Amino acid sequence: MSSLTYYSLPGYSESWREKYGFSDACLLGSRLEVTGQTGKDPSTGNVPATIEEEIAQAFSNMNDVILHSLRQAGKLSKGDGATGWDYVVKLRTYHVGLSKMQDQARDIMVQNIKKWCPDHQPLFTMIGIESLPFPDLHVEIEVIAEV
């Protein structure tokens, strides 16, 4: 098996790595697997007031993790203009209470996918769940990216 390299964003994610024992991402050859990213503001730890803002923040957080991981791995230069989402081939999302807001959540997800992936259509699975492990969170996104 090839060697595995793990990455976490400096600051908030590194503290979670120490406290909970998991990383943000793992590079396996040319495939980057990224653990679930939520809509928490990474600088404050606060969850946005609306589901629209929470999902948008989760997409932004995912972008930051992908870019950081690829730069750390030497797969991306800082000024190349790419977004992390340019490399995403699959995303899976988990939604608390999805049965009560299916249309709204799906529409918000589609808007963000089209915004972040304007030139490709990644595989997408949306899953309704009872809860996430941290209070006040309603969505978590995990992705597979290919570099």
Q: What is the pLDDT of residues 42-92, one digit of tens each?
A: 888 899 999 999 999 999 999 999 999 999 999 886 667 789 999 999 999
Instruction: Describe the crossing of helices 51-72 and 102-116 by its angle, rounded to 10 degrees.
Output: 40
- Provide the CB-side half-sphere exposure for 66 (13 A, CA): 29
Residue 7's contacts (CB-CB under 8 Å, 6 or more residues apart) are 23, 24, 25, 26, 27, 65, 68, 69, 72, 73
Cα 140 to Cα 5, 30, 81, distances in angstroms: 23, 24, 26
Over the stretch 24-44, which tens digit does the pLDDT of each residue have?
999 999 999 999 999 999 888
Cα 87 to Cα 33: distance, rounded to the nearest angstrom:
11
Domain count, the chain: 1
Over the stretch 106-124, which tens digit does the pLDDT of each residue have?
999 999 999 999 999 999 9
Residue among 26, 39, 18 at smallest CA distance from 143: 26
Q: Checking phi first, is residue 11 left (phi over 0); if not, alpha (psi -120 to 50) or beta?
A: left
Cβ atoms of residues 42 and 12 within 8 Å:
yes
**Predicted local confidence at residue 143, as pLDDT:** 99
Bigger pLDDT: 13 vs 2:
13
Domain that holds residue 123: 5-146
For residue 1, pLDDT beyond 80:
no
**Predicted local confidence at residue 9, as pLDDT:** 82
**Predicted local confidence at residue 134, as pLDDT:** 85
What CATH number does residue 113 fall under? 3.30.1330.40
